Amino acid sequence: MSKLESLEHIVSFAKRRGFIFQSSEIYGGLSSCYDYGPLGVELKNNVKKAWWKAMVQDRNDVVGLDASILMHPKVWEASGHLEGFTDPLVDCKECKKRWRADHLLEAKGIKPTFEPGDWGNHKVRCPECEGELTEVRKFNLMFKTQMGALEDEADEVYLRPETCQGIYTNFLNVQNTMRKKLPFGIAQIGKAFRNEITPGHFTFRTREFEQMEQQYFSHPDDKKKIFDMWQEARMKWYLDLGIKKENLQFREHDPDELAHYASRALDIEYNYPGMGFSELAGIHDRGDWDLTRHSEFSGEKLEYFDQQENKKYIPHIIETSDGADRATLAFLVDAYDEVETRSGEEGGKHEKEVVLRLHKSLAPIKVAILPLSKKEPLQKLSDEIQTELRQNLMTMYDETGSIGKRYRRQDEIGTPYCVTVDFDSLEDKAVTVRDRDTMEQERIKIGELDRWFKEKFNF
């Protein structure tokens, strides 16, 4: 478990330290929408960069894509979203609170079925006020908007509820232009939108979020092997980036839980504070559902010509789907640590200090430059050092407060290294580098700094 007992702690920490703010806060906020602050955007970008590196840069069998959010309305007919991407919704007639009917049934240990008449027999009442509930209505989670100037039905489009459809519609473009042979994958990072009925839990469930998805196309006989490969690779990615093993687990979906397109689904779950193990990412066997449907609806044959077998067929797809926001939240929560005061400047008082033990590659700021005095000679030297380091690394300059306070501030935001420039630096042309985790201090020649950090950060 993380050192945090509830998400509330991380909500206030994330705000206080410039990671995540409520959207439109000065207007009272917009429910379940969040803005990433100066440190949050660095962290989330680093998460996305690490994903792209592992999924695209480090492999020969996966290529990237950036498809548009707005797509032809037929896409959502073919994908089944127009008809099937719904949640069962009930309202309380007394207190007007809105509920997910399936969640209410699950809480009572009843398998959710919503055949006409079923609902009334279940005799479920409002969990808040015991009031009577309405009949179940299907609520489509897609956001609808208008394209063009005329509010004509023909111009109705949707904000994509998942990024992968842009990958399917570009299957032939990518395969032909990149001369890809099966098996190969297409990866994409981008925004998705769902009009969730019951959003909440901070950035875990929002109505606008970002997905990091990859679709791997193969011969149907290779599916099992490929599923196993991705299952291992995706879990390893989280572990390599420092998430504690005991906070991650797999969860296989029961057959009756599966989405309309999937024949197998496995979640990677993270133990979010106050929530327990909840979905962080998914690996799905989508079979040939998507390409078959898009072939039918578009009239364009989304097939692959297998030269070895000398025949055409529709490839099968194994999808990996990670939420960039859920991943960022998991990294933030997992890295959160509290220790007794470490700066030695607090006169022996036992105070708690936050240390964000983020993996170096995810830390928003890699190196802080801290001159011991604000006066010219040290400022000038610090400025020269920063100019050199910032060519490769995200740096921060801080000259205010005692050095102990400044270390503390950097520990709180997860900065792996602090460079202290002191008066001796003017003479010995060296600085003190402090390590966030070991707190060890090393004297390093200024001329060697770039090479020293190159080794630490692998750039």
Q: What does the binding site for ligand ATP look like in residue numbers (CB under 6 A)?
A: 162, 194, 196, 205-206, 209, 211, 279-282, 321-323, 325-326
Supply the minimum distance, in Å, between the C-beta of residue 210 and ligand ATP: 8
22 or 206: CB nearest ligand ATP: 206
Supply the minimum distance, in Å, between the C-beta of residue 323 and ligand ATP: 2
Question: What count of Cα atoms within 13 Å lies in the side-chain half-sphere of residue 196?
Answer: 16
Distances in whole angstroms, Cα of residue 45 to Cα of each of 16, 60, 219, 241, 309? 20, 23, 34, 14, 42
Supply the minimum distance, in Å, between the C-beta of residue 321 and ligand ATP: 4
Name the token pair of 338.
Answer: 């509290």
Question: What count of Cα atoms within 13 Å lies in the side-chain half-sphere of residue 280?
Answer: 24
105 or 280: CB nearest ligand ATP: 280
Supply the minimum distance, in Å, between the C-beta of residue 151 and ligand ATP: 28
Supply the minimum distance, in Å, between the C-beta of residue 355 and ligand ATP: 27
Largest CA distance in the chain: 85
Contacts 24+ apart (CB under 8 A), 115-118: none
Supply the minimum distance, in Å, between the C-beta of residue 426 and ligand ATP: 51
Supply the minimum distance, in Å, between the C-beta of residue 206 and ligand ATP: 4
283 or 430: CB nearest ligand ATP: 283
234 or 359: CB nearest ligand ATP: 234
139 or 457: CB nearest ligand ATP: 139
Spatial distance between the Cα atoms of 265 and 255, rounded to a whole number of angstroms: 9
194 or 293: CB nearest ligand ATP: 194
4 or 281: CB nearest ligand ATP: 281
230 or 417: CB nearest ligand ATP: 230
Name the closest residue to ligand ATP (Cβ).
323
DSSP secondary structure code for residue 447 in this structure:
G
51 or 209: CB nearest ligand ATP: 209
Supply the minimum distance, in Å, between the C-beta of residue 328 and ligand ATP: 10
- Neighbouring residues of 382: CB distance < 8 A, sequence distance ≥ 6: 369, 370, 371, 397, 399, 421
162 or 422: CB nearest ligand ATP: 162
Spatial distance between the Cα atoms of 389 and 52, rounded to a whole number of angstroms: 24
Spatial distance between the Cα atoms of 335 and 333, rounded to a whole number of angstroms: 6
Spatial distance between the Cα atoms of 269 and 108, rounded to a whole number of angstroms: 23
Look-up of token digits 């001369």: 179
Contacts 24+ apart (CB under 8 A), 276-281: 277/249, 277/251, 278/201, 278/204, 279/251, 279/326, 280/238, 280/248, 280/322, 280/323, 280/326, 280/327, 280/330, 281/234, 281/320, 281/321, 281/322, 281/323, 281/326, 281/327
Pairing of strands 137-140, 86-91: antiparallel
Supply the minimum distance, in Å, between the C-beta of residue 361 and ligand ATP: 20
- For residue 215, the cross-strand partners are 186, 319
23 or 379: CB nearest ligand ATP: 23
Nearest to 318 by CA among 363, 293, 353, 285: 285
Supply the minimum distance, in Å, between the C-beta of residue 160 and ligand ATP: 12
Supply the minimum distance, in Å, between the C-beta of residue 161 and ligand ATP: 8
Neighbours of 239 (CB within 10 A): 11
Supply the minimum distance, in Å, between the C-beta of residue 148 and ligand ATP: 28
Spatial distance between the Cα atoms of 45 and 15, rounded to a whole number of angstroms: 18
259 or 444: CB nearest ligand ATP: 259
Backbone angles phi, psi at 429, to 5 degrees: 50, 45
First to last CA, the chain: 33
Spatial distance between the Cα atoms of 418 and 370, rounded to a whole number of angstroms: 7
H helix runs in 281-375, sequence order? 289-298, 324-335
